[in-house]
Amino acid sequence: MFSAEALAVLALGFYLGAKHALDADHLIAISTFIDQSRTFASSLLLGGLWGLGHTAALLFLGGMVIIFDLKLPEKIALGLEFLVALMLIVLGINALRGLRKGSEIHWHPHKHGNHVHAHPHIHSIASESHHQLELSWKPLFVGMVHGLAGSAALMLIVLSTIQSRALALGYVVVFGIGSIGGMALISSLVSLPLRITINRFEGTQRFIRTAAGIVSVGFGIFLAVQIGRDLGRIWL
């Protein structure tokens, strides 16, 4: 049986993992995938894949740190965070390019029972169907990069407060589970405006998707400059 202290630590890990999903860079990264989440189920899946990748990276690097008592040099930790900044820039540019090249409105007939009707919807490069549940490796990969970048600070907290290695590993696991659930929920909320307007307002959709791309590029540049200064201080 777990002690009350161990249960409290695990509960804290789950809470912080779910809260971790609200970090600005996570929200911005997931927003660049909103055109892939046309349904509630696909939104949950997209966020879950991000959280799964994040958790896999945490378990790998966190396990190495805890089991072998490794220390991550500050320059490596900053280098991983710098990689996240560059990835945000790439994701934003990719979202804007996809909107420019592949988004156009179409009218298609659909049959529901004996009733046939036509309604408009938008196709994009990233998603050619709007009723199909789609899988993509991109959210998984993005989550892994974010997990590696966020592991340094997390591991410092774990190692400084938890003496038991088993409990520390358990903390990482429940933290990851919390991040999976948190990102699945957040992804659904972020994509809600697109799902609401999917068959109604093309202009609103384009605005949402354009804004997501621009914010991702801008925030990525901001992070890159800030982290670049810290890296320059270390190396120089």
Please name the residues in contact with 224: beta carbons below 8 A apart, sequence gap of 6 or more.
Answer: 82, 85, 86, 89
- Does the pLDDT at position 145 exceed 90? no
- Does the pLDDT at position 104 exceed 50? no
Q: Would residue 131 count as lying in a domain?
A: no
Name the most confidently modeled range: 36-40, 121-125, 169-173. 169-173
Nearest to 32 by CA among 106, 126, 104: 126
Q: In angstroms, rounded to a whole number, what is the distance separating the alpha carbons of residues 77 and 57? A: 14
- Does the pLDDT at position 127 exceed 60? no
Q: Would residue 140 count as lying in a domain?
A: no
> How do 115-123 and 104-112 pair as beta strands?
antiparallel
Neighbours of 229 (CB within 10 A): 9
Q: Would residue 179 count as lying in a domain?
A: yes
Please name the residues in contact with 220: beta carbons below 8 A apart, sequence gap of 6 or more.
Answer: 85, 86, 87, 88, 89, 90, 91, 92
Q: Would residue 153 count as lying in a domain?
A: yes
Q: Would residue 33 count as lying in a domain?
A: yes
pLDDT confidence band for 107 (50 / 70 / 90): very low
Name the most confidently modeled range: 1-15, 156-170, 189-203, 215-229. 215-229
Nearest to 186 by CA among 30, 13, 35: 30
Q: Would residue 163 count as lying in a domain?
A: yes
Nearest to 174 by CA among 20, 4, 3: 20
Comparing 65 with 215, the larger pLDDT belongs to: 215
Contacts of 103-109 spanning 24+ positions with Cβ under 8 A = 103/35, 103/205, 103/206, 103/209, 105/202
Q: Which domain holds residue 154?
A: 4-97+145-235
Q: In the block, which residue shows the tokens 């959709």?
A: 205
Q: In angstroms, rounded to a whole number, what is the distance separating the alpha carbons of residues 184 and 208? A: 20
State the pLDDT at residue 126: 42
Domain count, the chain: 1
Q: Would residue 229 count as lying in a domain?
A: yes
pLDDT confidence band for 10 (50 / 70 / 90): confident
Q: What share of the chain in percent tops pLDDT 70?
A: 70
Nearest to 139 by CA among 47, 63, 57: 47
Name the most confidently modeled range: 156-160, 164-168, 184-188, 214-218. 214-218
Comparing 42 with 179, the larger pLDDT belongs to: 179
State the pLDDT at residue 201: 60
State the pLDDT at residue 120: 47
Comparing 129 with 70, the larger pLDDT belongs to: 70
Q: Would residue 133 count as lying in a domain?
A: no
Q: What share of the chain in percent tops pLDDT 90?
A: 10
